[in-house]
Amino acid sequence: MKTLKTINKLILLFLLGSMTGCGTAINPKAITEKDYLLKFYDTVNDRFGYVNLKGDTTIPPGKYAMCFTDTFITYAIVVKSNIDFIAIDRKENVLYKVFTFDNGPDYPSDGLFRIIENGKIGYADSMTGKVVIKPQFDCAWSFENGVAEVSNDCKTQSDGEHSIWLSDHWFYIDKTGKKVEKEKTTIPI
C-alpha cells in the first residue's frame, strides 16, 4: 500500500513537472491523486481506455476508437466511431468537435486549440478544455503571440492530398475573439 502511494506521488510530481515544463503553468492545488485518469493500452485487444490511479478501469478499452489525451483531468480528446475527434468531460458528455489538423486533433498553440461547431471554427483552452472563443469563423489559423488570423469569407481549395484556405478578407483576433491590428515587425538594418 505504501509503495502504491509513493508511485502515485511520483506520477503526480512527474505530471506537474511535465505540464509546467511545456510552458503552461498549472495550479498544483487543482490536481489531487483522485482528480485525474490515465490512458492505458489493452495489448490483448489493441484498444485504449482510462484508469484511475488505483488501476480501476473508468472508461473501458474500446469504448472510443482512440484516446489522445494521456492525462484526463477535466477533458479528454477521443475518437468516436473512427470519424470525429471530440472532447469529452469526466461524465463523458461531448463538449465539441476538435478541428482536424495533420490527420489528428489540432495541436495546442499559445494555450488554445481549434474546435468546430456547425461548420464554424472557434477556440478552446488547452488546460481546461473550456470554450474561450465560440465557433464563428469559416477559416481560422492557430494562435501565435496572442493573435490568430481568421476569415469569414474564405474558400477551401484542394492542393493534392492537402487543402488550402483562400480569402481576400483575413483579419486578426486576440484571445477574447476581439478584432485587433497586428503589429508589424521591423527588421533592423
Residue ranges covered by each domain of the chain: 1-35, 36-98, 101-189
Confidence category of residue 163, pLDDT binned at 50, 70, 90: confident
Phi, psi values for residue 7, rounded to 5°: -60, -45
Average pLDDT value for residue range 97-123? 94
pLDDT at 2: 47
Class of the CATH-defined domain 101-189: mainly beta
**DSSP letter for each residue of 31-72:** --TTS-EEEEEETTTTEEEEE-TT--EEE-TTSSSEE--SEE
pTM (two decimals): 0.76
Task: Give the pLDDT confidence score for residue 183 in this predicted structure.
Answer: 60
Percent of the chain with pLDDT over 90: 60
Q: Do domains 36-98 and 101-189 have the same CATH topology?
A: yes
Residue 155 cell numbers, joined:
474558400
Asked if the model's pLDDT at residue 86 lies above 50, the reply is: yes
Residue 74 CB neighbour total at 10 angstroms: 16
The residue among 97 and 1 whose pLDDT is bigger is 97
Could you give phi then psi for residue 154, rounded to 5 degrees?
-135, 165
Look at the domain 36-98 and name its fold: Thrombin, subunit H (2.40.10)
